[in-house]
Homo-oligomer: A and B are copies of this chain.
Amino acid sequence: MSNRSGPAFAVTHKVRDNCLCLHLQRAARAVGRRFDAALRPLGLTNGQFSLLMSLNRPVAPSIGSVAALLAMDRTTLTANLKPLERRGLVEVTVDAADKRGRRLSLTRAGQALLARAVPVWKRTHAAFERVVAGSGADRLRNDLRALS
């Protein structure tokens, strides 16, 4: 006799097939890996690309606002900035008007690298758009935004 104390296998199948969290993590990993591979010649990961892109704006944003934009913990963003700072792609300066705050900006090198990454993004992204074209990429984006 088996003497099991776990949930019934039927419950497990239900969870595995329906869990939105698992489906999200799986897709995020898989898509992230593909972008990582495409961006590797530039020495960027998908997360670094998104972060640099979110800093490409006329007014240098704060850490908290970028963290909220990326739906990421503030302390994660602080950590993610470190390698980009070391490579001279990003600059972190104290906000003159509020010395608690930091202002995040791209260096010229960061801007140049980001510009080189854009065509890579376009090619890679187009492939994924095609994958969900039948169901509607806009609806998918709306769902993902609603979950964030």
Contact A50 B29 (CB under 8 A): no
Chain B contacts for A85, CB-based, 8 A: none
Contact of A146 among B115, B132, B143 (CB under 8 A): B132
Contact A143 B135 (CB under 8 A): yes
A20 in contact (CB, < 8 A): yes
Contact B111 A31 (CB under 8 A): no
Q: State the oligomeric state as a number of copies.
A: 2
Chain B contacts for A7, CB-based, 8 A: 56, 111, 114-115, 118
Cα separation A89 to B35 with both chains bound (whole Å): 34
A42 in contact (CB, < 8 A): no
Cα separation A29 to B69 with both chains bound (whole Å): 12
Cα separation A119 to B118 with both chains bound (whole Å): 45
Cα separation A29 to B68 with both chains bound (whole Å): 11
Chain B contacts for A29, CB-based, 8 A: 70-72, 148
Interface residue ranges, A against B (CB under 8 Å):
3-7, 9, 11-12, 15-16, 18-33, 35, 46-47, 50, 53-54, 56-58, 70-73, 106, 108, 110-112, 114-115, 118, 121, 125, 128-129, 131-132, 135, 137, 139-148
